[in-house]
Chain A
């Protein structure tokens, strides 16, 4: 009896949201993208303690609605209110949403992969950080307890770089980070369990239930309806951008939800497969891929083969392997393959071209490079394909981006048709496409297959698989089940998808460890190189090892070290400054002329120069223009200013400046102390909260903006820091040379880029290694002296530097993950 009473209490608590305080309410939200309505008149109110299950097919408008809720997008029409108080959308943005306690865990993950788990926690709640040593401890503790609270026994190292975590672990960090935010009131979880295994998913749901009791509200978006039914208190169903149903979870069931979401997606199965024969086989799958089945798979002409399974189980990999068979992947094909991408923006459209251009490129790749292109011929070929797709020929001249998603997809299909390949690979082509286009598409698939071609079709909509002759179900990167004909049912597909495989991950981890070992060796390369150069020089001339000898040798390196420090901060933001050496030259001229003659005016001019340099960074960010060209242009300005001030080398170094670089200790060379000091300063800045933010922007600006950071402000800060280092380099030039020459810094620009890259910084941004870069700078500046010691002409100086750069980059390229497209 008492049992029942407890259950009853729980029940009333969950079932009576009306009594709870309302957190946020969206009213009559409409959002249009050109002609398509992503959201139409949607109402959504969320109260404390509620768990809303948000479901809907692909393109139903869930993501758009959530973006509007979280302030990343404004609606075309509609209003928002918090606890009954209306708020104007013009005052609403990501930062405001966060201030009001709304957090979203994005499906595509918004962590900075180059930062540690703890540092990612810092990015979300920076206000508690202090710029002093040990500031990370707070976030380390916070990360630890947050992770343990949601996922007990997770074993994630909070000091580990996010890039070293598995996708599931990243997802866990992201969820824990959102849940641990102080003052959070509503958490939106977009497909949170898509990469979690069953245990973690259960832990998450238990946590959500727990926190909901304490008054936290959740919106839980998932395609796994059993999870929705399990966790949600209320369910909201979206369909074609409209709210199709909202009600208590008790009033619904999986079957009912499927029906409301769009049960009309029933592709007619009209296709009769040709008999599978070895002669007609276009694709053969074998090896590890089919080891679970115990036999090879052949795909014949005239077949439509579907690839099913949980997202990311290897379906896409197979498509790409068929498109471009590797050496030992167990995939062979005879005949060309065409590819129809579903991620149209990223993998499909050519945004500068018209629809016609986007279609006819399909037939060009296999023609000789100097063959002629004729609009008339293209148009005729495209018109044929477009006719079969019901794509309006009169709009061929329009830019592809003016088309709706469905029509863009038709153009991509037409591209594959004009390519006229016997095999056509489809990568979730109906994603975000309206129902009418889908029907056209299914019909066309049948036509294409009947005409003797093979279709391999990856889809995330299980219902579409019913249109296939055969379905290969994937789990853990392998084909675990083959279904044919009447055996293809949604139940059978889902059943086979959930086969768990645990042994694969361990093997991947072992491989990772080996690459990491090699990478460590490469990271040590700048230091090994520096040591080797010094060793050779000392063995050739023992006097080098004296304090005086080292000072003489290393003092000229100081300026390059400082310029390299400046360049490193720019490269950390995935940009390159081609004017930094010229800027150092200008500062040198200023300090030897104006600063010497009129100290106050000179100091003012130096300040103005640094401010101008920082402003350049702001301009680059604000106008989104390429830094390389802007800074190259700026280098002309710096050099021009220098020439105007001082047409020929000369000037005098102020005494205090000379003294600043000219002191000496008896037991250590001054130059080594100064270089070490520079390294220390750079290292400290990099380790401070500020350095973490700068690196965050270098890696994932989108995530930083989502967390409420201003990109323009930090571009200014980044260039200000770089400007200060470059200015210091200019001053050191004047002090060391006791005079100035506007051209004295020119060679530093490219050398600094080389040093930064040699030191291990990534040109893609976000990965900086201050000490390595400085070791690289010292090495490069010693090359001249080294060649002198070895009696090699100084003519070979530049070539040696270039070859070292190439060698190091080649090494790095071999160890690094080649993720980028060629």
Chain B
């Protein structure tokens, strides 16, 4: 086996490497092209990326449950949590514990509501979390009227903006979070069950896995992380405003997918989500440095997401799921037929289509 094929094999198991390479390349190019780039400017980017990473990790758990599950309520949770923090902490360090408890409770409540709708009532995740988002939007409007002011507790502010020997505390927390998530995914029973549920729900159920409980846990993790993220983000920007969580909706999904987590579920990489978050923030920062207007920045972000999906998503999935139908929920008949080859597919090298006529 030569080095190249060994590397290819390795990248198949470590999909986070592509996002990491992207970060490295973009950073190198920026350092060479402009003189303004240094390790310290990278640490600023990592600080911004940390807020994305935390919500991205939560989103990753939901995406990994499969069936196209996505948590659309994270944006509303972030916003509401920032407002709830203002309401409960009132700028006093003494109230910090209450604030953190409130954020965790909010996350738990939303996560439980989402799981009730998705697991209990069988509502598709995208609709259920959409409906939850609506309800939270109203709660945000109400708390917006109730907040006493935009004072942020100094201790929380330190946590969100401070540095320890140059490294942002927030980044340390995000990296710790990534480490814990990686460990949970790789070395705990829950991580294995999550992957199993995401790959094949019927097989998971027949392996005695309680699918509902695993899926519910993923939604709760997502909401709690989003809520904590909102608490810190509020402290970082020094207050809260309506729609402050909105950018994190697409970006969290983008970070998950770019990082190498399979959008169809079953395989997640927390490290990839971290690097992809940094990459996304780096792209945005680059565009700001270059001086692109905000509209063009949006366009570039959109194109990056679609481009990466079109280029890699399909192949990744097929390599892993050659014989599994794309949307299993649609097949209710007793025997899933092998995917037939179609005339417009002959150019691909899907193995069932290969032809070796002599």
Chain B residues in 8 Å Cβ range of A639: 295, 298
Q: A108-B335, A637-B303 are in contact. Are A365 and B309 (CB under 8 A)?
A: no
Measured CB to CB, the residues of B under 8 A from A are 68, 70, 72, 117, 119, 121-124, 126-128, 130-135, 137-139, 141-142, 145, 184, 187-193, 195-196, 199-212, 215, 217, 249-250, 253-254, 257, 262-264, 266-267, 293-306, 309-310, 313-314, 317-318, 320-324, 326-344, 346, 352-358
Complex contact B293–A364 (CB within 8 A): no
Partner of A637, one of B123, B298, B331: B298
Complex contact B313–A625 (CB within 8 A): yes
Q: A352-B266, A401-B323, A763-B124 are in contact. Are A339 and B139 (CB under 8 A)?
A: no
Chain A residues in 8 Å Cβ range of B313: 623, 625-626
Complex contact B202–A350 (CB within 8 A): no
Chain A residues in 8 Å Cβ range of B132: 802
Chain A residues in 8 Å Cβ range of B263: 625-626, 629
Q: Is A600 an interface residue, CB under 8 A from the partner?
A: no
> Cα distance A357–B199 when bound, in Å?
12
Q: Is A753 an interface residue, CB under 8 A from the partner?
A: yes
Q: A373-B188, A625-B310, A795-B141 are in contact. Are A351 and B295 (CB under 8 A)?
A: no
Q: Is A1 an interface residue, CB under 8 A from the partner?
A: no
Further pairs besides A361-B196, A629-B305, A630-B309: 4, Cβ < 8 Å:
A372-B187, A802-B132, A805-B131, A822-B119
Partner of A636, one of B250, B267, B321: B250
> Cα distance A279–B347 when bound, in Å?
63
Q: Min CB distance, B71 to chain A, in Å?
A: 12
Instruction: List the A residue with the shortest CB-CB distance to B295.
Output: A643
Q: Is A107 an interface residue, CB under 8 A from the partner?
A: yes
Q: Using a CB-CB cutoff of 8 Å, which residues 719-766 of chain A contact chain B? A: 750, 753-754, 757, 763-765
Chain B residues in 8 Å Cβ range of A810: 121, 123
Instruction: List the A residue with the shortest CB-CB distance to B72.
Output: A750
Complex contact B314–A625 (CB within 8 A): yes
Q: Is A336 an interface residue, CB under 8 A from the partner?
A: yes
Q: Is A406 an interface residue, CB under 8 A from the partner?
A: no
Q: A74-B353, A350-B200 are in contact. Are A371 and B299 (CB under 8 A)?
A: no
> Cα distance A74–B68 when bound, in Å?
32
Chain B residues in 8 Å Cβ range of A710: 342-344
Q: A323-B206, A367-B189 are in contact. Are A633 and B298 (CB under 8 A)?
A: no
Instruction: List the A residue with the shortest CB-CB distance to B340.
Output: A72
Task: Pick from B117, B200, B211 the residue with the most CB of A within 10 Å.
Answer: B200
Task: Pick from B196, B249, B339 the residue with the most CB of A within 10 Å.
Answer: B196
Complex contact B135–A351 (CB within 8 A): no
Instruction: List the A residue with the shortest CB-CB distance to B320.
Output: A352
Task: Pick from A73, A629, A796 the residue with the most CB of B within 10 Å.
Answer: A629
Chain A residues in 8 Å Cβ range of B322: 351, 401
29 of the cross-chain contacts (CB-CB < 8 Å) are A73-B352, A74-B341, A90-B355, A339-B208, A341-B206, A345-B336, A346-B335, A346-B336, A350-B196, A351-B266, A351-B322, A371-B188, A373-B192, A401-B322, A625-B309, A630-B310, A632-B253, A634-B302, A634-B306, A639-B295, A699-B330, A798-B138, A799-B134, A799-B138, A802-B132, A802-B133, A803-B131, A813-B121, A821-B329
Complex contact B306–A644 (CB within 8 A): no
Q: A323-B206, A632-B253, A636-B299 are in contact. Are A72 and B341 (CB under 8 A)?
A: yes
Complex contact B344–A712 (CB within 8 A): yes
Complex contact A350–B295 (CB within 8 A): no
Complex contact A641–B295 (CB within 8 A): yes
> Cα distance A374–B190 when bound, in Å?
13
Partner of B340, one of A94, A628, A819: A94
Instruction: List the A residue with the shortest CB-CB distance to B337.
Output: A108
Please give me the 3 A-B residue pairs with the lowest Cβ-Cβ distance, nearest first.
A802-B134, A643-B295, A640-B298
Q: Using a CB-CB cutoff of 8 Å, which residues 530-579 of chain A contact chain B? A: 574, 576
Chain B residues in 8 Å Cβ range of A640: 294-302
> Cα distance A680–B209 when bound, in Å?
48
Partner of B121, one of A362, A369, A705, A809: A809
Q: Is A635 an interface residue, CB under 8 A from the partner?
A: yes
Chain A residues in 8 Å Cβ range of B208: 336, 338-339, 365-366, 419
Complex contact B199–A633 (CB within 8 A): no
Q: Is A820 an interface residue, CB under 8 A from the partner?
A: yes
> Cα distance A17–B186 when bound, in Å?
64
Complex contact B207–A415 (CB within 8 A): yes
Chain A residues in 8 Å Cβ range of B338: 67, 73
Instruction: List the B residue with the shortest CB-CB distance to A368.
Output: B189
Complex contact A647–B207 (CB within 8 A): no
Q: Is A135 an interface residue, CB under 8 A from the partner?
A: no
Q: A352-B266, A370-B188 are in contact. Are A629 and B344 (CB under 8 A)?
A: no
Contact with B along A81-108 (1 / 0, CB 8 A): 0000000111001110000000000111
Chain B residues in 8 Å Cβ range of A700: 330
Instruction: List the B residue with the shortest CB-CB distance to A32.
Output: B356
> Cα distance A700–B297 when bound, in Å?
39
Chain B residues in 8 Å Cβ range of A372: 187-189
Complex contact B341–A73 (CB within 8 A): yes
Q: A369-B190, A636-B301 are in contact. Are A574 and B327 (CB under 8 A)?
A: yes
Complex contact A822–B293 (CB within 8 A): no
Instruction: List the B residue with the shortest CB-CB distance to A79.
Output: B357
Chain A residues in 8 Å Cβ range of B314: 623-625
Q: Min CB distance, B44 to chain A, in Å?
A: 23
Chain B residues in 8 Å Cβ range of A357: 192
Chain A residues in 8 Å Cβ range of B335: 107-108, 343, 346
Complex contact A351–B127 (CB within 8 A): no
> Cα distance A534–B295 when bound, in Å?
40
Chain B residues in 8 Å Cβ range of A79: 357
Complex contact B202–A822 (CB within 8 A): no
> Cα distance A352–B12 when bound, in Å?
11
Q: Is A801 an interface residue, CB under 8 A from the partner?
A: yes
Instruction: List the B residue with the shortest CB-CB distance to A803.
Output: B135
Q: Using a CB-CB cutoff of 8 Å, which residues 697-719 of chain A contact chain B? A: 699-702, 705-706, 710-712
Instruction: List the B residue with the shortest CB-CB distance to A816.
Output: B122
Instruction: List the A residue with the shortest CB-CB distance to B250.
Output: A632
Chain A residues in 8 Å Cβ range of B133: 750, 802
Q: Min CB distance, A617 to chain B, in Å?
A: 13
> Cα distance A813–B122 when bound, in Å?
7
Complex contact B264–A753 (CB within 8 A): no
> Cα distance A95–B78 when bound, in Å?
52
> Cα distance A574–B321 when bound, in Å?
20
> Cα distance A342–B18 when bound, in Å?
38
Complex contact A799–B299 (CB within 8 A): no
Contact with B along A324-364 (1 / 0, CB 8 A): 00000000000010110101011111111100010001101
Q: Is A129 an interface residue, CB under 8 A from the partner?
A: no
Q: Min CB distance, B110 to chain A, in Å?
A: 12
> Cα distance A436–B302 when bound, in Å?
54
Chain B residues in 8 Å Cβ range of A821: 201-202, 205, 211, 329
Complex contact B195–A350 (CB within 8 A): yes
Q: Min CB distance, A112 to chain B, in Å?
A: 11
Q: A108-B334, A373-B192, A639-B298 are in contact. Are A809 and B305 (CB under 8 A)?
A: no
Chain A residues in 8 Å Cβ range of B68: 626, 628
Q: A369-B193, A822-B122 are in contact. Are A351 and B309 (CB under 8 A)?
A: no
Chain A residues in 8 Å Cβ range of B330: 574, 699-701, 764-765
Q: A369-B190, A373-B192, A636-B250 are in contact. Are A796 and B200 (CB under 8 A)?
A: no
> Cα distance A94–B208 when bound, in Å?
40
> Cα distance A702–B339 when bound, in Å?
8
Chain A residues in 8 Å Cβ range of B131: 754, 802-803, 805-806, 809
Q: Using a CB-CB cutoff of 8 Å, which residues 35-71 of chain A contact chain B? A: 67
Complex contact B188–A106 (CB within 8 A): no
Chain B residues in 8 Å Cβ range of A369: 188-190, 193, 217
Partner of B203, one of A73, A349, A750, A795: A349
Q: A108-B335, A368-B189, A576-B126 are in contact. Are A350 and B203 (CB under 8 A)?
A: yes
Q: Is A642 an interface residue, CB under 8 A from the partner?
A: yes
Q: Min CB distance, A72 to chain B, in Å?
A: 4
